[in-house]
Structure 1
Amino acid sequence: MSTPQGFHHVEINVHDLTRTKSFYGWLMAELGFDLFQEWDKGISYKCGSAYLVFTQTEAKYREFSFHRKHTGLNHLAFWAKSRAHVEHLRVQLNENKVPFLYDNDYPFAGGEGHYALFFEDPDRIKIEIVAPR
Structure 2
Amino acid sequence: MLHHIELWVPDLGRAVRAWGWLLERLGYAPYQDWPDGRSWRLGETYLVVEQSPALVGDRHDRLRPGLNHLAFHVASRTELDALVEEAPAYGWSLLFADRHPYAGGPEHCAAYLENGDGFEVELVAKET
- Aligned residue type for 2:104: G
User: Deviations along 1:43-66, whole A, 9 cap, x unmatched?
Assistant: 0000111000111032x5333532
Alpha carbons of structure 1 residues 96 and 17: separation in structure 2 relative to 1, 3 Å: closer
| Residue in 1 that maps onto 2:100 | 106
CA RMSD of aligned residues (A): 1.5
Give the structure with higher Rg (CA). 1
Which of the residues 5, 12, 16 maps onto 1:10?
5
**TM-score (ref. length: structure 1):** 0.88
- Supply the distance in 2 between the matched residues of 1:67 and 1:16 (Cα, whole angstroms): 15
Count of equivalent residues: 127
Range 90-99 or range 23-32, more displaced: 90-99
- Supply the distance in 1 between the matched residues of 2:45 and 2:13 (Cα, whole angstroms): 23
- Supply the distance in 2 between the matched residues of 1:106 and 1:81 (Cα, whole angstroms): 17
Tell me, which stretches of 5 or more residues in structure 2 are unaligned?
A: none
- Aligned residue type for 2:51: Q
Which of the residues 23, 40, 47 maps onto 1:45?
40
- Supply the distance in 1 between the matched residues of 2:9 and 2:109 (Cα, whole angstroms): 28
